[in-house]
Amino acid sequence: MQLSLSRHEKSVINEWRKFGVLRDIENHCLDQANGAILITCSDADQFAEVFQHQCGMQTVHRPHPRIHVFGWHGGPLACAPCSPVNKRKHAHSVFLDQISDARALKDIHAVASRAHAPCGAARMNHIEIEQEMALHMRAKQQIKTLNQGIVVAPFFDVDYGDGRKRTYFVSRESWEAWAEQNGIPSIA
């Protein structure tokens, strides 16, 4: 089933764009010279484009794409402790272990962490878009804490539903400022 953005999600995404939470991507921002660990939602209607886009981002860094992929329902949302997308309380630790192992196995120290909207896994678990972003940021923090020196770049893929799909970089600073202004937790 193809999902569409709710009116609320559209308006929040609009605000995030205006506020600078969601920014246009500059390919050089995440150094992917040795490849990237990609954390993405498994979503069958989005994955091919997500993967192609990730390959495209690497063209400025290396001759061939080198992507170590983890596709889970909700993508990075599954890496946040006690995340509502996981049926088992400690499932996040399995995902986090896999990321650490990938780093050791492949000598890749750049993580592209991509959440998206509309996300079926988020909907299924009644996660509003604001909480989704808070979980996304929590996952980033958790991955960084467990893997010293690793670089985690958070992205947000939006399917506007009119054939328009866009990928944005998430500014943590702007997100925190927006969350504070709106009285909601910036991290879940």
CA proximity to 13, closest of 149, 133, 135, 151: 133
Q: Which residue in 57, 85, 99, 119 binds Zn ion (CB under 5 A)? A: 119
Nearest approach in angstroms of CB 168 to Zn ion is 16
For Zn ion (CB under 5 A), the number of binding residues is: 4
User: E strand or H helix at 40, and its extent?
Assistant: strand 36-41
For position 121 contacting Zn ion by CB under 5 A, the verdict is yes
Nearest approach in angstroms of CB 118 to Zn ion is 8
C-alpha dihedral over 141, 81, 131, 3, to 10 degrees?
Answer: 110
For position 127 contacting Zn ion by CB under 5 A, the verdict is no
Nearest approach in angstroms of CB 117 to Zn ion is 8
CA–CA gap between residue 122 and residue 41 (Å, rounded) = 10
Which are the contacts of 130, defined by CB distance < 8 A and separation ≥ 6?
12, 179, 182, 184
For position 43 contacting Zn ion by CB under 5 A, the verdict is yes
Q: Is the CB of 46 or the CB of 58 nearer to Zn ion?
A: 46
**Which tokens hold the place of 30?**
């995440």
Q: Which residue in 38, 41, 135, 143 binds Zn ion (CB under 5 A)? A: 41
Identify which range of 77-85, 114-122, 126-134, 155-163 contacts Zn ion by CB under 5 A. Answer: 114-122
**Which tokens hold the place of 136?**
């996304």
For position 135 contacting Zn ion by CB under 5 A, the verdict is no
CA–CA gap between residue 63 and residue 33 (Å, rounded) = 9
Which are the contacts of 173, defined by CB distance < 8 A and separation ≥ 6?
none
Identify which range of 86-94, 117-125, 130-138, 150-158 contacts Zn ion by CB under 5 A. Answer: 117-125
Residues binding Zn ion (CB under 5 A) = 41, 43, 119, 121
